[in-house]
Structure 1
Amino acid sequence: MYQLLIKTFVRDYKNTENAHVREQYGTVCSIISIVCNIVLVVFKLIFGTLVHSVSIVADGYNNLSDAGSNIATFFGFKLANKHPDAEHPYGHGRFEYITGLGISFLIILVGLMSLKDAVLKLFNPEAVKFSVPALIALIFSVLVKIWMGYFNRKAGKEINSTALEAAAQDSMNDVMATSATIVALVASLVTDLPVDSLIGAAVSVVVVISGISIAKSTIDPLLGIKPDPETIKEIENYLMSYDCVMGIHDLMMHDYGPGRRYLTVHCEVDASIDMMTTHDEIDNIERAMMEKFHILTTIHMDPIDIHDTLTNDLRDKVTSIVESIDSSLSIHDFRIVRGPTHTNLVFDVLMKDDKYSKKELNKLITSKVKEMNTTYYCVINFEYSFV
């Protein structure tokens, strides 16, 4: 059913990195969820009225609020796919994260309200009366919500959408809550214990925890989370596959919403090759990055002298010195400036953690370099990795 609906209503459904395709996924999922929730609302209101069940009618109104969150998701995807404008040159992709954040807050609110009601009923228990019509309505609701949860979760994983993941979790929370009601309804046949309240309290806690988890997953990209290490490794290997690229550093990735990533990176190139030729190759790499990874890439060229024997020899020795201090350290942008009385060794050191302070590292590296030659002076710039 999932594949049939996606293939029918989403054009080019396999191209999940494309912003328009993502919008189609979000639209399809939102409309299906809205329709399912409205069906549940109508079914429960009619059924509840016919059998005079207040609980079924109340659950129907709860599904009406679920439809409201689905409408928010629908508009979230529409807004996220708006073209960049003068005020928002990086686009509106983060609307999708904001939608997921809103749903997560709604989940937390519902969980807390349910927890309050469950605790109050523990102290003032109400008798739960078994009803076959009520049982049928609840089971039907569970089956529909399970399918909705499956559909949204699968689509959410396909396009890596926190908004759809949040919608899926919202459906599964309803499944847990309704299942708890079913258990309490059946238990009322054999016991007078407040099973309904106990199970309701436990489910409410799970709902609140899931809401917090979803909130974190949507807040992280809004704040600027560290990129996926596997993706960065793949990008680094791809860049290094080009003959003109001799080394890379200062790689930074910015996420402005799914399908709207921006990358800046420094690529070391041979200084002896004509810069116009190298520049043309770099332009080709930037275009290839967009085609392969759907990332708008800006590459800064760092010309390095690879034919000077002394520079190469000192670069290798300084690299060994830095790595002997800590294997996680690395150097780049190495060059030398010769003078009549001394030679400056200018380079950057990339730090992965705070095992050493910059002052300590500078002292250690300088002292070891001085052991090679007292006329060598280190000019070091320390920086942290952005990935």
Structure 2
Amino acid sequence: MEQRLKQIKTASAVGIIGNTALALVKVVLGFLAGSLAVVGDGVDSATDVLSFIIIFFALKIMAKEPDEEHSYGHYRAEALATLFIAFMILFAGVQLLIFALTKIVTAAANPVPSPLAVVVSFVSIGGKLLLALYQFKTGRKTESAMLIANGRNMLADLYVSVGVLLGTFATITLRIPVIDHLVAMFIAVWIIWTAVRIFLEANTELMDGVKDTSIYQAVFDAVDQVENVANPHRTRIRKLANLYLIDLHIEVDGTLTVAEGHRLAMEVEHVLRQKIDNLYDVAVHVEPLGNMEKEKYGLSPQKLTD
């Protein structure tokens, strides 16, 4: 886990430096070129900088040891940080949308952007592509929702920069200022949609859910490998950052001693740790064969296939 946090921290530092440079270039030169679309692209890059700063704070919290108030540790700070990033991106998108709409109302008084805006867009595309690929690579390697969220955001930025390039070129060629403002509106809507997607994914973890439900079948397949253990049920899986917590019930011969039932439960845990990557904790409840308690929570192989 310490190595993972170090990799995320390094990726965040690269993101802060790269996006700060891009944001400054696009905002300053966008104003000089008279292109609202380029300025909006720069504002989007500035939100990326704030996102990575949030990640740094989250990493500090995640590195803390479990305590009396947080017996599972502090890994949920990653999901909370991702959620905060989503709200911040949403705010930036809404502000840009309002600004672009205001400009469209007074489009006739706005000048055509200079060719400098096209050059800035080319620089933005190259820089964003390199940053997005690096964030995705590190995010997938460390299974970091924060980095993957930022990678997706920067990939969206790449598409946005391409749109800015095309829109700016069309504005200059056709000498119609409103095209630049319409592109800025498109950027704003894209930013808002990106924020909604990030929010929904972070919300899954905060609601004790898992996005990839195939892990349940992996758990049932692993339990099937343990002899004298039957009917894994009331299985519940949660995530803490990239770590899994698994609770499940199993059935064993009711004539076994407590010690023998415990041994089988330990075998189940051992097999799960072998088969499931990033397994943080397992809780196995032992019941006698044929137990007919009504299940209210969790999944069983039968419920998974229904």
Query: Which of 254, 258, 270 pairs up with 2:238?
Result: 254
CA contact (8 A) 2:41 2:187 kept: no
CA–CA separation in structure 1 for the residues paired with 2:187 and 2:12? 25
Q: What is aligned with 1:211?
A: 195
Q: What is aligned with 2:84?
A: 102
CA–CA separation in structure 2 for the residues paired with 1:64 and 1:38? 7
CA–CA separation in structure 1 for the residues paired with 2:211 and 2:102? 45
CA contact (8 A) 1:180 1:199 kept: yes
* Count of residues in Structure 1 that have an aligned counterpart in Structure 2: 292
Q: What is aligned with 1:154?
A: 137
Structure with the higher fraction of residues in helix conformation: 2
Query: Which of 81, 85, 107 pairs up with 2:63?
Result: 81
- Map Cα deviations across residues 283-330 of structure 1 (whole Å, 9 max, x no partner): 2432443344224112122133xxxxxxxxxxxxxxxxxxxxxxxxxx
Q: What is aligned with 1:90?
A: 72
Higher relative contact order (CA 8 A, sep 6+): 2
CA–CA separation in structure 1 for the residues paired with 2:165 and 2:214? 44
SS in 2 for 1:89: coil
Q: CA deviation at 1:33?
A: 0.6
CA–CA separation in structure 2 for the residues paired with 1:264 and 1:189? 61
Change (3 A) 1:202 1:163: same
Change (3 A) 1:248 1:129: closer
CA–CA separation in structure 2 for the residues paired with 1:300 and 1:383? 13
- The answer to whether structure 1 residue 229 and structure 2 residue 213 are counterparts is yes
Tell me, which stretches of 5 or more residues in structure 1 are unaligned?
1-18, 305-331, 334-346, 349-381
Q: CA deviation at 1:105?
A: 1.1
- Cα RMSD (Å): 2.8
Q: CA deviation at 1:243?
A: 0.7
Change (3 A) 1:254 1:52: closer
SS in 2 for 1:31: helix
CA contact (8 A) 1:264 1:298 kept: yes
CA contact (8 A) 1:249 1:267 kept: yes
Change (3 A) 1:100 1:25: same
CA–CA separation in structure 2 for the residues paired with 1:102 and 1:77? 14
Counterparts in 2 of 1:8-27, with a 5 A limit?
19-27=1-9
Residue identity in the other structure for 1:386 = G
Q: CA deviation at 1:177?
A: 3.7
Change (3 A) 1:185 1:227: closer
- Map Cα deviations across residues 248-273 of structure 1 (whole Å, 9 max, x no partner): 222222333321x3222221111334
Change (3 A) 1:66 1:136: same
- Map Cα deviations across residues 318-366 of structure 1 (whole Å, 9 max, x no partner): xxxxxxxxxxxxxx51xxxxxxxxxxxxx23xxxxxxxxxxxxxxxxxx
Residue identity in the other structure for 2:221 = N
TM-score for both structures, normalised by structure 2 = 0.83
CA–CA separation in structure 2 for the residues paired with 1:222 and 1:198? 36
CA–CA separation in structure 2 for the residues paired with 1:58 and 1:274? 69
SS in 2 for 1:296: strand
TM-score for both structures, normalised by structure 1 = 0.67
Q: What is aligned with 1:37?
A: 19
CA contact (8 A) 1:107 1:208 kept: yes
Change (3 A) 1:48 1:82: same
Change (3 A) 1:275 1:88: closer
CA–CA separation in structure 1 for the residues paired with 2:234 and 2:47? 47
Q: What is aligned with 2:184?
A: 200
Change (3 A) 1:386 1:33: same
CA–CA separation in structure 2 for the residues paired with 1:114 and 1:29? 28
SS in 1 for 2:238: strand
Q: CA deviation at 1:184?
A: 3.1
CA–CA separation in structure 1 for the residues paired with 2:168 and 2:249? 65
CA–CA separation in structure 1 for the residues paired with 2:190 and 2:23? 25
Counterparts in 2 of 1:1-387, with a 5 A limit?
19-40=1-22, 48=29, 52-53=32-33, 63-125=45-107, 126-131=110-115, 133-193=116-176, 194-225=178-209, 228-259=212-243, 261-293=244-276, 294-304=279-289, 332-333=290-291, 347-348=292-293, 382-387=294-299
CA–CA separation in structure 1 for the residues paired with 2:204 and 2:216? 18
SS in 2 for 1:121: helix
Change (3 A) 1:65 1:227: closer
CA contact (8 A) 2:145 2:241 kept: no
Structure with the higher fraction of residues in strand conformation: 1
Q: CA deviation at 1:199?
A: 1.9
Change (3 A) 1:234 1:164: same
Q: CA deviation at 1:96?
A: 0.6
CA contact (8 A) 1:107 1:170 kept: no
Q: CA deviation at 1:217?
A: 0.6
CA–CA separation in structure 2 for the residues paired with 1:59 and 1:208? 13
Tell me, which stretches of 5 or more residues in structure 2 are unaligned?
300-306
CA contact (8 A) 1:253 1:264 kept: yes
Residue identity in the other structure for 1:164 = L
Q: CA deviation at 1:87?
A: 1.4
Q: CA deviation at 1:202?
A: 2.2
CA–CA separation in structure 1 for the residues paired with 2:66 and 2:216? 26
CA–CA separation in structure 1 for the residues paired with 2:275 and 2:130? 34
